[in-house]
Amino acid sequence: MGMAAREDATSAHFPFWVSLSLELLCRAALAKIHPVLLAEPKDEDNLLYACGQNIGKSPKSIAITTVITRCGKFLPDFDKAHEDRAKKMMETRNAELHSGEAAFHALSTGNWQSEHFSLIKTLLGHLGRTMEDYLGDEIATRASQMLQEKTEETKKSVNQKIGIHRGIARKLEASDLADKRVQAELRIRNALETSQLVKECFCPACESKAIIDGQITDSGAPRLSEGEIIVERRVLPSRFRCFVCDLRLPNFTEMNIANLGAMYTITETKDPIDFFGIVPEEYIDFDELRKEIEDDWRAEAATEYMDE
């Protein structure tokens, strides 16, 4: 970001340098979890290098688009909006570097900065760093002001959206509202049966039953219960949908403003053989087992014959 700080924030050079530093920031965020997440898996030497082994050659890392996708999987607050923003910035950078297009000139006059600062604040939070560490005091102050304005703007937008859909529901005849709620129940039941990540909730606009979808952020330690492996997984809400008034909140930020942002857990039950990847054939001689079962069957049949 040192090069970006030397540029006028309204010039095309500012977002260009910002885009270069973004890749390093995304890679650092993954590396903090474990460097192996950056290793190109097609050659196991890259994995060994990431684990601290000297492989005698230059290692290869995964593409930046894969890095960003993995940030979405491993970083709890790195939502779909952040993922899309990061990928869009990388696409613009590639267009600037590898074609004749002046791709960053459009960004120099756009309102991209507040969204980008929200993105990097999320990454910095994961790394335990501040905006001042990354941007310097001057740009960090400007970024904080933009984020505050963006937050207030988003709050206003979400509250307006809820108000509009509350009005839609209130205009319905009582019988129509009841019919919609019956149909909504059927769709909710189907959604719950389709995905474990779906959770039932109540709509902040019309107070009807609705659904939340989310993405897994991390998992608790597996435990054995009655011969099965039990794993609890924590889920970050990422989408809301009401089938009655059709209110939709497409990301965690909007859901959190509507008091629908609380994380929740799901429980997965797995057979120990599947969970640990056990191949029974490696531990059991099925021919010998078949012979033992047949011998036991013959002995039991003979006993029953003698007892008749």
Identify the domain boundary among 135, 167, 185.
135
Residue 149 lies in a domain: no
Q: What is the pLDDT of residues 178-228, one digit of tens each?
A: 999 999 999 999 999 999 999 999 999 999 999 999 988 777 778 877 777
Residue 59 lies in a domain: yes
Identify the domain boundary among 135, 164, 187.
135
Q: Please choose, from the candidates 183, 201, 182, the residue with its C-alpha nearest in 3D space to the C-alpha of residue 258.
A: 201
Residues 95 and 208 in one domain: no
Residues 73 and 163 in one domain: no
> For position 6, what pLDDT does the model report?
67
Q: What is the pLDDT of residues 79-89, one digit of tens each?
A: 888 999 999 99
Q: Please choose, from the candidates 171, 173, 176, 168, the residue with its C-alpha nearest in 3D space to the C-alpha of residue 242.
A: 168
Residue 308 lies in a domain: yes
pLDDT at 109 over 60: no
Residue 179 lies in a domain: yes
Q: Using 50, 70 and 90 to split pLDDT, how confident is the model at 95?
A: confident
Residues 116 and 94 in one domain: yes
pLDDT at 298 over 70: no
Residues 131 and 182 in one domain: no
Residue 94 lies in a domain: yes
Q: Please choose, from the candidates 249, 266, 253, the residue with its C-alpha nearest in 3D space to the C-alpha of residue 197.
A: 266
Residues 163 and 241 in one domain: yes
Residues 39 and 112 in one domain: yes
Q: Write down the mean pLDDT value for the chain.
A: 85
Per-residue burial over 143-182, b = 16 or more CB atoms within 10 Å of its CB, e = otherwise:
beebbeebeeebeeebeebbeebbeebeeeeeeebeebee
Task: Look at the chain and report how many structural domains it folds into.
Answer: 3
Residue 199 lies in a domain: yes
Domain that holds residue 184: 156-275
pTM of the full predicted structure? 0.60
Residue 69 lies in a domain: yes
